[in-house]
């Protein structure tokens, strides 16, 4: 028994080290390179789109190719390689060169969100490496240094917002996806240097709680500083890879036409309006089905000037609207006892006629459930100890990202070993961690704690994973 117990713990550790977030996008027809920047020795993946390869770098009509800098999420759940793979279809569609640097900050061994300071060696190293890699890409390829998109997935958002804030002259647009945000990392004194830059923020209705909440914090920060923000949440979407949202947004900002239709029809998007008048979406994103509230009479007009060197995609005059009336959202967790403060107001109302939801949208899940005091009983004695179990949620839509933690008395925690299982399948050997649950149904999340004196303690909680909600097309009214 003793040997099999430690073998199981070792096997879980090895399995978790190789785990990751799947890439559902198909591979492109271009070329992938794995390169090293000479001065910083930083490594990065580079994808050259199919037309770039066919034309040997020569752009039809002349000029250089737009560059996407995409910052990956936490290892081992994400990395530079999955990022460059998920972007290949969009790179071929729009003619983007895509660069995915390997980041030191975005690693569970270095950073555990939330990240609240930029004064860290890993952040300073990544900042230096990103700028050097951008220069290296522009030397090696026909990438256009005046048309650069900063984008990110998950914890890569910390660096995406930070690098644009510190070096706005190097970027023409930022559009993040299901990403983290930290206002403490940004310097407000930099805002006048790039207030005319377009900002896109996209996340899922059922995204991981910290990503959903920090995305809405990002919307509030940029609007507070009077940026031009397009902010959307996608119905039924969890913590999933959706590069098509950022790609379409970037294409509209810089004036690039897709070679093939963008796969946006299945995404039902809604405006995020924390406060103040919302901005209209770019024309391409406006084609996405969107839930809109009742129209309001214009009360003011606002003028903005297009960014020099980019196409004037947005109209120069926008009617402002009164702030939407605040609405209470019920918690998605039916077992939680107390309500939580509602997130920023989300538009409601019937979607356009082309796509009509066949379901009633589910409100976002609360950030965390209240701590629970759970008795732990030893299998070798009648002694009972007390532990606190913390889960980010106990119900959600597949794929459901969940954080878990077991807090033990100091006398037990020091020197103990932990084995987490999901319906009996080992998933982790740490006191806390993250998991993605894809199988619909009941998941029994249990922790087996082996104390320093070789006692076994068990604690568990049931998580309900609901099927993904879908929408169907309906006939257009005449």
Residue that is written with structure tokens 């995609």 in the block: 313
- Which pLDDT value is given to residue 153? 97
Q: What confidence score (pLDDT) does residue 476 get? A: 53
331, part of any domain: no
Between 168 and 318, the higher pLDDT residue: 168
Of 111-120, 240-249, 362-371, the range with the lowest mean pLDDT is 362-371
Residues 382, 315 within the same domain = no
Between CA 401 and CA 435 the distance in angstroms is: 6
Q: What is the mean pLDDT of residues 135-155?
A: 97
- Determine what percent of the chain is predicted with pLDDT higher than 70: 70
| pLDDT at position 468 over 50 | yes
Rg of the chain over Cα atoms, rounded to whole angstroms, equals: 24
Flag whether 340 is in a domain: no
The domain boundary, picked from 256, 287, 320, lies at: 320
236 has a pLDDT exceeding 60: yes
**Pair (311, 380) in one structural domain:** no
pLDDT digits (tens, 9 = 90+) for 382-404: 344 566 778 988 998 888 878 88
Give the model's confidence band at 22: pLDDT under 50 very low, under 70 low, under 90 confident, else very high.
confident
Residues 149 and 66 in one domain: yes
Q: Is the pLDDT of residue 184 over 80?
A: yes
268 domain-assigned:
yes
pLDDT value at residue 113: 87
Q: How much is the pLDDT for 132?
A: 97
Domain boundary, last residue among 256, 288, 320: 320
Residue 378 domain-assigned (yes or no) = yes
Q: Let me know whether 372 and 270 are in one domain.
A: no
d(CA 441, CA 438): 9
Query: What is the average per-residue pLDDT within 187-198?
Result: 95
Indicate if 33 and 7 belong to the same structural domain.
Answer: no
Of the candidate ranges 115-124, 268-277, 347-356, the one whose mean pLDDT is the lowest: 347-356
For residue 12, the model assigns a pLDDT of 33
Residue 1, pLDDT score: 41
Point out the domain boundary residue: 320, 351, 379. Answer: 320
Percent of the chain with pLDDT over 90: 51
CA distance linking residue 47 with residue 87, whole number of Å: 9
Compute the distance between CA of residue 60 and CA of residue 13 in angstroms, rounded to an integer.
50
Task: Specify the 3-state DSSP secondary structure of 272.
Answer: strand
Longest distance between any two alpha carbons in the chain, whole Å: 79
Cβ 200 vs Cβ 230: under 8 Å: yes
The residue segments making up the domain with residue 209 are 20-320
Please tell me the predicted confidence (pLDDT) of residue 57: 95
d(CA 327, CA 348): 10
Q: Which residue has the tokens 């004037």?
A: 312
Residue 473 has pLDDT above 80, yes or no: no
Q: Are residues 315 and 373 in the same domain?
A: no
**427/261: higher pLDDT:** 261
* Residue pLDDT, tens place only, 64-120: 999 999 999 999 999 999 999 999 999 999 999 999 999 999 999 898 889 999 999
Same structural domain, 453 and 308: no
Model confidence at 171: pLDDT above 80: yes
Is omega for the bond preceding 193 within 30 degrees of 0, making it cis?
A: no
Question: Are 94 and 63 found together in one domain?
Answer: yes
Higher pLDDT, 247 or 429: 247
Instruction: Report how far Cα 471 is from the mean position of its chain's Cα atoms.
Output: 22
The domain that holds 105 is classified in CATH as: 3.40.50.1820
Least confident residue range of 87-101, 129-143, 204-218, 443-457: 443-457
User: Is the pLDDT confidence value at 32 over 60?
Assistant: yes
Q: Is position 295 within any domain?
A: yes
pLDDT surpassing 90 at residue 50: yes
- Expressed in angstroms, the distance from the first to the final Cα of the chain is 71
When divided into structural domains, the chain yields a total of: 2
- The answer, yes or no, to whether residue 8 has pLDDT greater than 80, is no
Find the CATH number of the domain harbouring 402: 2.60.40.10
154 is a domain residue:
yes
Of 193-202, 249-258, 329-338, 417-426, the least confident = 329-338
Average pLDDT, the chain: 76
| Co-location of 401 and 313 in the same domain | no
Q: What number is the average pLDDT over the span 163-179?
A: 97
Does residue 475 belong to any structural domain of this protein?
no
Highest mean pLDDT among 111-115, 173-177, 293-297, 459-463: 173-177
Q: Is residue 329 part of a domain?
A: no
Q: Are residues 174 and 66 in the same domain?
A: yes
Q: What local confidence, expressed as pLDDT, does residue 414 receive?
A: 74
Q: How far is CA 390 from CA 207, 379, 405, 408, 462, in A?
A: 18, 23, 5, 12, 12
Are residue 24 and residue 6 in the same domain, yes or no? no
At residue 29, the pLDDT reads 96
Q: Are residues 297 and 393 in the same domain?
A: no
């Amino acid at each position: 028994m003793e040997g099999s117990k430690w073998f199981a713990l070792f096997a879980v550790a090895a399995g978790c080290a190789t785990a990751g977030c799947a890439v559902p996008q198909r591979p492109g027809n271009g070329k992938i390179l794995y390169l090293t920047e000479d001065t910083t020795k930083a490594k990065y993946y580079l994808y050259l789109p199919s037309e770039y390869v066919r034309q040997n770098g020569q752009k039809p009509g002349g000029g250089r190719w737009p560059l996407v800098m995409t910052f990956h999420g936490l290892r081992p759940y994400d990395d530079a390689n999955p990022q460059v793979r998920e972007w290949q279809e969009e790179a071929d569609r729009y003619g983007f060169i895509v660069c995915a640097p390997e980041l030191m900050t975005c690693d569970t061994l270095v950073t555990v969100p939330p990240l609240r300071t930029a004064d860290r060696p890993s952040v300073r190293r990544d900042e230096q490496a990103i700028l050097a890699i951008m220069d290296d890409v522009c030397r090696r390829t026909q990438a256009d240094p005046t048309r650069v998109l900063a984008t990110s997935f998950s914890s890569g958002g910390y660096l995406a917002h930070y690098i644009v804030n510190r070096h706005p002259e190097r970027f023409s647009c930022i559009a993040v996806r299901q990403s983290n945000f930290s206002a403490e990392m940004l310097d407000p004194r930099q805002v006048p240097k790039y207030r005319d830059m377009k900002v896109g923020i996209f996340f899922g209705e059922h995204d991981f709680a910290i990503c959903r909440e920090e995305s809405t914090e990002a919307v509030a920060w940029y609007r507070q500083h009077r940026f031009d923000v397009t902010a959307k949440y996608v119905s039924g979407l969890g913590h999933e890879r959706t590069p098509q949202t950022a790609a379409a947004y970037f294409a509209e900002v810089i004036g690039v036409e897709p070679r093939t239709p963008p796969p946006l029809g299945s995404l039902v998007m809604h405006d995020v309006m924390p406060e103040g008048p919302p901005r209209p979406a770019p024309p391409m994103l406006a084609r996405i089905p969107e839930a809109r509230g009742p129209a309001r009479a214009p009360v003011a007009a606002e003028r903005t000037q297009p960014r020099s060197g980019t196409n004037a995609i947005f109209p120069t005059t926008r009617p402002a609207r009164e702030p939407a009336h605040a609405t209470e959202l019920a918690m998605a967790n039916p077992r939680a006892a107390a309500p939580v403060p509602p997130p920023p107001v989300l538009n409601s109302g019937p979607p356009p006629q082309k796509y009509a939801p066949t379901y009633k949208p589910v409100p976002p899940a609360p950030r965390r459930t209240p701590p629970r005091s759970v008795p732990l009983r030893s299998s070798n004695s009648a002694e009972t100890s007390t532990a606190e179990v913390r889960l980010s949620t106990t119900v959600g839509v597949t794929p459901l990202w969940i954080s878990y933690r077991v807090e033990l008395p100091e006398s037990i925690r020091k020197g103990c070993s932990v084995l987490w299982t999901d319906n009996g399948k080992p998933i982790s050997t740490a006191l806390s961690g993250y998991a993605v649950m894809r199988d619909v149904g009941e998941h029994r999340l249990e922790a087996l704690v082996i104390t320093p004196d070789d006692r076994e303690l068990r604690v568990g909680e049931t998580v309900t994973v609901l099927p993904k909600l879908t929408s169907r097309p309906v006939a257009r009214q005449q």
